[in-house]
Amino acid sequence: MTASTIRFESQTVIQRPAREVFDRLADLTAYEGWMHHDGLFRRCASVSELPVREGTTYLDLTWMGRFEGRVDELVPPSRLAFSETLSWFGVALTRARPAYVLEPDGDATVVHHTAVGELYGVMKPFRPVARWLADRERTRTLASLKRSLEGR
């Protein structure tokens, strides 16, 4: 990892079958209904035709700007990975690669979540702030996912 790389790793247990957790994560157009709205996230919109599959493109709209995303891996019901790039005026500022590995545990699912981000150009000096934002946003995403599936 370089000095401009940020890495996040966490896991949570969700009291729902892996297929339900996977389906929630793979339904990009439904994120607005379950994701928190008091952080970076504003809305997710599919650009490619549905259903979601490897190669599907989407827009992740945040208060920082528009991340252009792609589904890199889709292996139901166990693996899902994305790549997203934030650009301003045609210049890439950051690239994020969030991923989920879902492990059945009886009627529950252990969700292993990682995210790796790279900062480019003028964003490099903002690494401490970007790390804080990434940790906060990824933690909130897991909490929102859990809450939406467990009904809390």
User: Which residue, 70, 43, 38, is CA-closest to 140?
Assistant: 38
Residue 7 scores a pLDDT above 60: yes
* Total of domains in the chain: 1
User: Which residue, 76, 113, 74, is CA-closest to 96?
Assistant: 113
Residue-wise pLDDT for 23-78, tens only, equals: 999 998 888 888 775 655 555 666 788 788 999 998 887 777 788 899 999 999 99
pTM of the model: 0.90
Backbone angles phi, psi at 18, to 5 degrees: -55, -35
User: Which residue, 110, 46, 109, is CA-closest to 82?
Assistant: 46
Tell me what pLDDT residue 32 has: 82
For 46, the domain range is 5-150
User: Counting every residue, how long is the chain?
Assistant: 152
Give DSSP secondary structure letters for 56-92: -EEEEEETTEEEEEEEEEEETTTEEEEEEEEEETTEE
CATH number, residue 27: 3.30.530.20
Lowest-confidence pick of 6-15, 44-53, 97-106: 44-53
Tell me what pLDDT residue 48 has: 81
